[in-house]
């Protein structure tokens, strides 16, 4: 049993370790602490790869298998990258230990959520992560924007949780069970069940910023510290997508025909809205916020495949999305920590002063836009390929044209960085060791994950679906 | 022969250029790299003809297959037939010339040459792909380097042009993507669905499927080769690009589209036959409209860019006619236009570097001060208007003969219209040559200008030799394509 819970336990041990350090050991230098935490997170990532048998605990409440372990490893990797990139921001922050305790608490929540085989544990895990996330959003303690972001986040989260709970309770009324396996046996697609499903779907839609439940995204992303924004847009979203695919493909499989149509419509709306709003943003974080809304739309396109290649393409894309989005956020975070500037126009002439960072940003954005040879190309291609499996080519045409729209705003940033100048461009930034490691990890991921075919093949071999 | 060398060599060259100390080293490494490319392509030509002469009749030679995504039956699968070999030769010639004319590029030399080399890797990869996924991968690789080349090193409204080009080409890719997925899910090979060209051809897609997906693929590739009405990126993109960028764009990049269109037409013959009247109509519009629009241009680069729209119309017309002679003519036209337009842009670039203007009315009498460059310009012009002895004549004549072979009054009318546009071509070429090259020296400041430097001469000689080789003896190229 301990072995099945090992990934959760390691995280909890790290949290307690930090707590003891905070309480007992008087003055620890922040930089030492950051180094320690990052080493621990790296160890945690490595430990996650140790093989363990599939198992089911607590009468099916909690289950784990190779795919779930892989998903947790992806989240561990993303958390490590976020943490490495947060170095410049946290090294002068008085509450660095608390930041990590909250961060890891959310990660524990996500882990339980992904492993859940029952609606109750799912809800518990989700809430365990939501409340620390609120605290994290307002972690720039002296900035009003940040507390505003936290407030908006908790209100919208509470609303979505309410929808989710309502949906779950209706589902219980309709079927008399909440376990994913038994739900699949009891669902028949009646109107009442469909209503419950739509409520649950809305709860999910909030978390993964699917239109029309995306309205909190831009504001919260903009107000939160860049590190937290990165975490929200990649780890938090990725984790909810993992469990979303699982529930759709297992518990709600009997209703596949109904949710297929809903998800197609949501996918189109989300892509279009995200892309169109991203076109005219002047703040970097807002641009990335809307771009991440649009990316959710693409992921939904992969989910509609409801096949093994659908499941595989979603997990594969999220792995790639971790590298690409964190690469872009890493540069924004570094610039923001050093100069406080977060507008796109501040990056005019960035290539002249910081050529390496400019290329990191460019390659990350190309990957987000789906340009080969970056991994993003393969990710997007396989998502659309899975979506096309159902033969709905009108939908695929819309999705493909959305890739063209999205290219515009990514290239706009490239244009500002490489082709425009200003009298006083951003100064040459010093990159510390830890962010450097993070950038190398991201770039390697972006350039290798796609070209090396076995990554996808491995994920496919673990995937579920009809 | 290991065809992957064509991808590996430019990438390795680019890596060396990236790690080299200064601009001089970057230039030398790039030149060495493109020279190796040219030698490789000549070796490929020799090996290919040898193999064919010794009786190897398999459709694709030197095949190599590596399983890429086993779960989805996607392979990295390459091989060549005569068309690919011809296109590879074209790429190697144009790349060598493009590196040579960029010798004095002013800023960010390292990035410039690296991007140019990445572009060439994409083009080679495209021409050798036998798997549609691999093909698409290499097609899309070429979009972003073009955006950066135009946006960073270009002139005029470069940012607008770069964005327009990137978005339109990406739109073309999006259409191709949809078509590819359609073919994939309707293909059936022993292993299951597949992107492999041979596998899809063996499936014998039903006419309904062909009818649905042919327009996506043809229009998608067509955008790359200036299919009317998606040609608008061509004039802006070409005229804003730096010289080497224009040479690559017009010389090679537009041919990616033509090559793709030919492959698609051969893959889906039923749909190609059904859509052929539409293709021919659009092609003839592009030919005539492009030629008329060129008449109105006052900027040398715009003249060549619009004339490219017109000339690429011949490629599409040849493909649309579907007779074997016409398709062969289309391929000849791709090669000929690639060399000719690269030469033209090189000459215009050399003139612009010295006079800092491309406006026809401000130039004049250049033959007196820069005889070499002027001669190159005139040769390119004469090739463009189809003078016998140069490659343009051989290619366009083949297209016309092939088109005439297609029975039907409307097809004959289309051929006549396209033929007539040659007269317009002669008008704008001769007028531009007369005003810019001949006559008295218009600006006394031009008297002190120098003629071409060694690198520019070498670039021009490389391209002119190709043009003359095809013009005087088109048969060897013809043989190569047919076999």
Contact A319, A401 (CB under 8 A): no
Q: What confidence tier does A200 reach under pLDDT thresholds 50, 70, 90?
A: very high
Partner-chain residue, chosen from A372, A396, A408, that has the shortest CB–CB distance to B140: A372
Mutation test of the interface with chain B: which of A304, A393, A405, A450, choosing the one with the most B Cβ atoms within 10 A? A393
ipTM above 0.90, yes or no: yes
> pLDDT tens for residues B145-181?
999 999 999 888 888 999 999 999 999 999 999 999 9
Q: Which residue has the tokens 């894309």?
A: A317
Please report the pLDDT score of residue A26 as a whole number.
66
Residues A419, B159: C-beta atoms closer than 8 Å: yes
**A356: which residues sit within 8 A by CB, 6+ positions away?**
A431
Distance CA B416, CA B403 (A): 10
- Distance to chain A for B462, nearest Cα, Å: 31
Whether A453 sits inside 8 A of B141 (CB atoms) is: no
- B230/B65 Cα distance (integer angstroms): 35
| CB atoms B163 and A456 under 8 Å | no
Residue A371 and residue B144: Cβ atoms within 8 Å? yes
If we measure between CA atoms, which residue out of A233, A252, A244, A170 comes closest to residue A203?
Answer: A244
Query: CA A163, CA A126: separation in Å to the nearest integer?
Result: 13
Tell me, yes or no, if A401 comes closer than 8 A to chain B by beta carbon. yes
CA distance B202 to B186: 12
Structure pTM? 0.93
Over residues A305-310, the mean pLDDT reads 86
Alpha-carbon distances, residue A328 vs A43, A177, A226, A358 (angstroms): 25, 43, 11, 10
Give A71 to chain B, closest Cα distance, Å: 19
Look at residue B116 and tell me whether its pLDDT is greater than 70. Answer: yes
Hey, are the CB atoms on A457 and B71 less than 8 Å from each other?
Answer: yes
- Is B85:B43 a contact under the CB 8 Å cutoff? no
Tokens of A96: 């660095």
Assess whether pLDDT exceeds 90 at residue A265.
Answer: yes
- Who among B68, B167, B212 is closest to A407 (CB)? B167
Largest CA distance in chain B: 73
Q: Give residue-wise pLDDT tens across range B271-295.
A: 999 999 999 999 999 999 999 999 9
Q: Which residues of A touch B140 (CB under 8 A)?
A: 371-372, 377
What's the token pair of residue B196?
Answer: 């492999």
Contact B71 A456 (CB under 8 A): yes
B52-111 per-position pLDDT tens digit: 888 888 888 888 999 999 888 899 999 998 899 999 999 999 999 999 988 888 788 888
- The model's pLDDT over A421-458, given as tens digits with 9 standing for 90+, comes to 888 888 888 888 889 999 999 999 999 998 888 899 99
Q: Is A452 on the interface with B (CB under 8 A)?
A: no
Helix (H) or strand (E) holding B61: strand B61-69
Asked if pLDDT for residue B399 goes beyond 80, the answer is yes
- Parallel, antiparallel, or unpaired for β B74-80 and B61-69? antiparallel
Contacts of A396 in chain B (CB under 8 A): 178, 181
pLDDT digits (tens, 9 = 90+) for A372-430: 889 999 999 999 999 998 888 999 999 999 999 999 999 999 999 998 888 888 888 88
Alpha carbons A185 and A424: distance in angstroms, whole number: 65
Q: Which of A317, A286, A128 has the alpha carbon at shortest distance from A220? A: A286
**pLDDT tens, residue by residue, A108-146:** 999 999 999 899 999 999 999 999 999 999 888 788 888
Structure tokens at B44: 């490929």
Q: What is the largest CA-CA distance in chain A?
A: 68
Structure tokens at B81: 């037939």
d(CA A338, CA A333) in angstroms, rounded, equals 9
Half-sphere exposure of A346 (CA within 13 A, CB side): 16
The answer to whether A166 contacts chain B (CB < 8 Å) is: no
For B480, phi and psi rounded to 5 degrees?
-60, -45
Is the CB of A87 inside 8 Å of chain B's CB atoms?
no
**Residue A466: predicted pLDDT:** 61
Q: Is the pLDDT of residue A312 over 70?
A: yes
The residues facing B61 across adjacent strands are B80
Contacts of A440 (CB under 8 A, 6+ apart): none
Distance CA A287, CA A409 (A): 8
Judged by CB atoms closer than 8 Å, whether chains meet at B72 and A382 is answered as: yes
Which of B70, B71, B152 is the closest to A418 by Cβ? B152
Question: Phi and psi dihedrals of A102, rounded to 5?
Answer: -65, -45
Residue A347 sits at the vertex; the CA angle it makes with A346 and A348, to the nearest 5 degrees, is: 95
Q: Which of A373, A382, A390 is the best residue to mutate to test the B interface, defined by the most B CB atoms within 10 Å of its own CB?
A: A373
| Whole-angstrom Cα Rg for chain B | 21
The closest of A153, A149, A29 to A93, measured between CA atoms, is A29
Q: How confident is the model at residue B483 (pLDDT cuts 50, 70, 90)?
A: low
DSSP characters for B62-99?
A: EEEEEEEEGGGTEEEEEEE-HHHHHHHHHHHHHHHHHH
Confidence label for A245 from pLDDT (cuts 50, 70 and 90):
very high
Q: Which residue of B has its CA nearest to A451?
A: B68
- From B157, which residue of chain A is nearest by alpha-carbon distance? A419
Contact A156, A206 (CB under 8 A): yes
CB atoms inside a 10 Å sphere around CB A176: 10
What does the CA dihedral A40, A42, A43, A48 come to, rounded to 10 degrees?
130
Per-position DSSP letters for B314-349, written without gaps between them: HHHHHHHH--HHHHHHHHHHHHHHHHHHHHHHHHHH
| pLDDT, tens digit, 9 for 90 and up, residues A323-336 | 999 999 999 999 98
Q: Inter-chain contact A461–B70, Cβ cutoff 8 Å? A: no
pLDDT tier for residue B34 given thresholds of 50, 70 and 90? very high
Distance CA A32, CA B194 (A): 54
- Please say if the pLDDT value at position B354 is more than 90: no
DSSP labels for B280-319? HHHHHHHHHHHHHHHHT--BHHHHHHHHHHHHHHHHHHHH
Record: contact B72-A415, CB cut-off 8 A:
no
Q: Which of B74, B131, B132, B166 to mutate to test binding with chain A, by most A CBs within 10 Å of its CB? A: B166
Chain B residues with beta carbon closer than 8 angstroms to that of A389: 185
Q: Nearest Cβ partner of B174 from A385, A403, A418? A: A403
Contact B152 A371 (CB under 8 A): no
- Beta-strand ranges (E) seen in A12-101 are 55-57, 62-64
pLDDT of residue A321: 95
Closest CA to B314 of B380, B244, B400: B400
Cis peptide before A373 (omega within 30 of 0): yes
Query: Cβ distance B248 to B98 under 8 Å?
Result: yes
Residues in B closer than 8 angstroms to A411, CB to CB, are 147, 163, 166-167
Are the C-beta atoms of A319 and A242 separated by less than 8 Å? no
Q: Do A456 and B72 touch (CB under 8 A)?
A: yes
Do the Cβ atoms of A419 and B158 come within 8 Å?
yes
DSSP string, B244-286: HHHHHIIIIIHHHHHHHHHHHHHH-HHHHHHHHHHHHHHHHHH
Count H helices and E strands in chain B, helices first.
21, 2
> What chain A residue is nearest to B212 in terms of C-alpha separation?
A393
Nearest-Cα residue of chain A relative to residue B67: A453
Q: Is B476 helix (H, G, I), strand (E, B) or coil?
A: helix
Rounded mean pLDDT, B329-349: 91
Nearest CA in chain B to A416: B159
Nearest to B69 among A372, A407, A453 (CB): A453
Closest to A149 measured CA to CA, from A286, A27, A332: A286
- Report, as an integer, the average pLDDT of A74-93: 90
Residues B88 and B38: beta-carbon distance below 8 Å: no
Angle of helix B454-472 relative to helix B82-101, nearest 10 degrees, comes to 160
Residue B236: which of B297, B287, B281, B282 has the closest Cα? B297
Mean pLDDT of B317-336: 91
Distance of CA A276 to the CA centre of its chain: 21
pLDDT of residue B470: 87
């Amino acid at each position: 049993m301990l072995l099945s819970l090992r990934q959760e336990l390691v995280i909890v041990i790290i949290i307690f370790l930090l707590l003891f350090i905070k309480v007992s050991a008087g003055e620890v230098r922040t930089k030492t602490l950051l180094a320690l935490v990052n080493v621990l997170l790296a160890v945690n990532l490595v430990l996650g790869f140790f093989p363990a048998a599939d198992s089911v605990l607590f009468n099916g409440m909690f289950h784990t298998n190779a795919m779930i372990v892989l998903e947790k490893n992806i989240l561990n990797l993303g958390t490590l990258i976020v943490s490495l990139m947060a170095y410049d921001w946290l090294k002068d922050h008085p509450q660095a230990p608390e930041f990590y305790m909250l961060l890891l608490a959310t990660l524990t929540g996500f882990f339980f959520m992904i492993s859940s085989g029952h609606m109750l544990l799912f809800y518990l895990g989700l809430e365990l992560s939501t409340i620390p996330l609120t605290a994290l959003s307002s972690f720039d303690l002296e900035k009003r924007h940040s507390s505003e972001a936290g407030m908006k986040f908790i209100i919208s989260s509470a609303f979505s949780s309410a929808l989710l709970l309502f949906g779950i309770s209706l589902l219980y009324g309709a079927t008399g069970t909440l376990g994913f396996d038994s739900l699949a046996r009891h669902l028949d697609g009646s109107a009442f069940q469909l209503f419950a499903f739509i409520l649950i779907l809305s709860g999910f839609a909030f978390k993964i910023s699917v239109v029309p439940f995306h309205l909190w995204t831009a504001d919260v992303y903009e107000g939160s510290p860049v590190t937290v924004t990165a975490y929200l847009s990649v780890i938090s979203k990725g984790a909810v997508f993992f469990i979303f695919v699982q529930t759709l493909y297992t518990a709600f499989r009997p209703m596949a025909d109904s949710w297929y149509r809903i998800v197609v419509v949501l996918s189109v709306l989300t892509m279009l809205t995200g892309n169109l709003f991203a076109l005219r943003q002047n703040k970097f974080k807002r641009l990335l916020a809307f771009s991440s809304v649009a990316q959710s739309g693409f992921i939904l396109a992969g989910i509609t495949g409801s096949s093994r290649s659908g499941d595989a393409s979603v997990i594969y894309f999220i792995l790639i999305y971790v590298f690409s989005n964190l690469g872009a956020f890493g540069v924004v975070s570094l610039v923001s920590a050093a100069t406080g500037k977060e507008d796109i126009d501040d990056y005019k002439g960035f290539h002249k002063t910081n050529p390496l960072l400019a290329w990191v940003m460019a390659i990350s954005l190309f990957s987000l836009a789906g340009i080969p040879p970056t991994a993003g190309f393969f990710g997007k291609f396989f998502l659309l390929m899975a979506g096309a499996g159902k033969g709905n080519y009108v939908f695929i045409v819309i999705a493909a044209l959305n890739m063209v729209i999205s290219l515009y705003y990514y290239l706009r940033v490239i244009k500002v960085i490489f082709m425009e100048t200003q009298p006083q461009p951003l100064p040459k930034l010093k990159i510390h060791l830890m962010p450097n490691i993070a950038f190398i990890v991201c770039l390697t991921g972006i350039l290798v994950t796609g070209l090396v075919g076995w990554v996808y093949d491995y994920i496919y071999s673990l995937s579920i679906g009809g | 022969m290991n065809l992957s060398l064509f991808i590996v060599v430019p990438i390795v060259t680019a890596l060396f250029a990236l790690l080299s100390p200064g601009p001089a080293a970057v230039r030398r490494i790039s030149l060495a790299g493109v020279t190796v490319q040219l030698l490789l392509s000549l070796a490929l030509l020799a090996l290919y003809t040898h193999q064919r002469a010794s009786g190897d009749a398999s459709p694709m030679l030197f095949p190599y297959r590596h399983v890429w995504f086993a779960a989805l039956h996607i392979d990295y699968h390459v091989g060549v037939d005569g068309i690919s070999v011809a296109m590879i030769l074209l790429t190697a010639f144009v790349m060598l010339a493009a590196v040579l004319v960029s010798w004095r590029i002013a800023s960010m030399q390292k990035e410039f040459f690296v991007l140019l080399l990445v572009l060439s890797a994409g083009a080679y990869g495209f021409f050798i792909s036998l798997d549609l996924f691999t093909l698409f991968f290499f097609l899309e690789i070429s979009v972003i380097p073009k955006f950066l080349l135009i946006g960073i090193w270009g002139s005029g409204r470069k940012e607008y042009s770069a964005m327009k080009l990137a978005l339109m080409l990406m739109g073309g890719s999006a259409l191709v993507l949809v078509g590819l997925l359609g073919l994939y899910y309707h293909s059936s090979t022993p292993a299951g669905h597949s992107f492999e060209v041979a596998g899809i051809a063996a499936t014998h897609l039903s006419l309904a499927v062909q009818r649905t997906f042919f327009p996506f693929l043809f229009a998608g590739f067509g955008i790359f080769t200036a299919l009317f009405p998606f040609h608008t990126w061509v004039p802006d993109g070409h005229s804003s690009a730096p010289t080497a960028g224009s040479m690559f764009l017009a010389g090679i990049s537009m041919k990616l589209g033509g090559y793709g269109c030919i492959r698609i037409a051969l893959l889906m013959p039923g749909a190609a036959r059904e859509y052929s009247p539409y293709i021919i109509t659009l092609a003839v519009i592009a030919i005539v409209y492009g030629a008329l629009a060129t008449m109105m241009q006052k900027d040398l680069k715009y003249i060549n860019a619009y004339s490219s729209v017109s000339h690429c119309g011949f490629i599409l017309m040849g493909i649309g006619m579907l007779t074997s002679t016409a398709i062969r003519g289309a391929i000849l036209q791709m090669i000929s236009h690639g060399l000719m337009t690269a030469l033209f842009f090189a000459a215009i670039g050399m003139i612009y570097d010295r006079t800092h203007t491309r406006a026809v009315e401000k130039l004049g009498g250049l033959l007196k001060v820069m005889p070499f460059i002027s001669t190159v310009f005139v040769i390119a012009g004469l090739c463009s208007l189809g003078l016998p002895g140069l490659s343009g004549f051989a290619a366009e004549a083949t297209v016309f003969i092939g088109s005439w072979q297609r029975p039907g009054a409307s097809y004959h009318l289309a051929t006549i219209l396209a033929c007539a546009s040659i007269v317009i071509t002669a008008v704008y070429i001769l007028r531009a040559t007369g005003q810019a090259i001949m006559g008295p020296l218009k600006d006394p400041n031009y008297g002190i200008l120098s003629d071409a430097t060694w690198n520019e001469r070498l670039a021009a000689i490389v391209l002119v030799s190709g043009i003359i080789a095809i013009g005087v003896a088109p048969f060897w190229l013809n043989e190569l394509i047919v076999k």
